[in-house]
Amino acid sequence: MSIGDIFYVIAIVVFSWMTFAIIRGNFQRKFNENGERIDLIEKEKRKADDQRKE
């Protein structure tokens, strides 16, 4: 195995790890620990608050 092949394998592993970390971070920001979408919970709370004000 040449140095270029080793570098190629290392680059593929690092790229795969970075992609996994980015996707995992996106899901962690969008979902809470119960698996509920945070943005939908906030919309429901705003709707409930608006209905109470009326």
Tell me what pLDDT residue 37 has. 84
CB 35 within 8 A of CB 42: no
Q: Is the pLDDT of residue 54 over 70?
A: no
Give residue limits of the domains in the chain.
Answer: 3-53
Residues in a beta bridge with 31 = 37
- The answer, as to whether pTM is greater than 0.75, is no
**Residues 16, 1: Cα–Cα separation, whole Å:** 21
Q: Is the pLDDT of residue 53 over 80?
A: no
Tell me what pLDDT residue 50 has. 66
pLDDT, tens only, 11-44 = 999 999 999 999 999 988 888 888 788 887 777 7
